[in-house]
Amino acid sequence: MSIRTERLSSVIKRDLGKIIQKSYQRSGSFITITKVDVTPDLLIAKVLISVYAPGKDEDAIFAYLEDQKVNIRKELATKIRHQVRRIPELHFINDKTAEHVEKMEKLFKKIRKERQQRDSNTDQEE
């Protein structure tokens, strides 16, 4: 990734985060932009979004973002128009990293617990 694409990715991540937080203020939902990947031609930005919405449907949040994509892109254009010639097309992707990490932590905890039980059973047999 070139310095220009990295710089543009970080600018988009920062500005898009503010735009999405402002446009989607529903109680109890936290939307975080975890990463932005911009193609080398700077025409497409893949936006990885992590959603924490206990008891709410994440698909509804992504449907809202897809519906508002044009407006979000226009607002982004007002913020970065002096830095790029063309505003990248936005592709929102659900980032499941947090869920994966949580699942792995549960597995590690289960393994530790089983290991402790096995070790305590071994100690009792001796």
Per-residue pLDDT reduced to its tens digit, 92-104:
998 887 777 888 8
Task: Provide the pairing of β-strand 44-52 with 89-94.
Answer: parallel
In this structure, the answer to whether residues 13 and 58 fall within a common structural domain is yes
Q: Would you state the pLDDT for residue 52?
A: 78
Mean pLDDT within 5-33: 84
| Banded pLDDT at 9 (limits 50, 70, 90) | very high
pLDDT in tens, 97-125: 777 788 889 999 999 998 888 888 776 76
Domains of the chain: total: 2
In this structure, the answer to whether residues 31 and 90 fall within a common structural domain is yes
In this structure, the answer to whether residues 83 and 108 fall within a common structural domain is no
Tokens 């735009």 sit at which residue?
19
Pair 86, 42: CB distance under 8 Å: yes
Q: The domain that contains 76 carries what CATH number?
A: 3.30.300.20
Task: Select the more confidently predicted residue: 47 or 24.
Answer: 47
In this structure, the answer to whether residues 40 and 50 fall within a common structural domain is yes
| Mean pLDDT score of the chain | 86
Residues 6 or more apart from 88 whose CB is under 8 A from it? Answer: 8, 12, 38, 39, 42, 43, 44, 45
| Banded pLDDT at 59 (limits 50, 70, 90) | confident
In this structure, the answer to whether residues 56 and 103 fall within a common structural domain is no
| Banded pLDDT at 126 (limits 50, 70, 90) | low
In this structure, the answer to whether residues 106 and 60 fall within a common structural domain is no
pTM check: above 0.85: no
In this structure, the answer to whether residues 28 and 61 fall within a common structural domain is yes
Q: How far apart are the first and last CA of the chain?
A: 59
Q: Which domain holds residue 89?
A: 3-95
Q: Would you state the pLDDT for residue 117?
A: 86
In this structure, the answer to whether residues 67 and 23 fall within a common structural domain is yes
Task: Select the more confidently predicted residue: 88 or 1.
Answer: 88
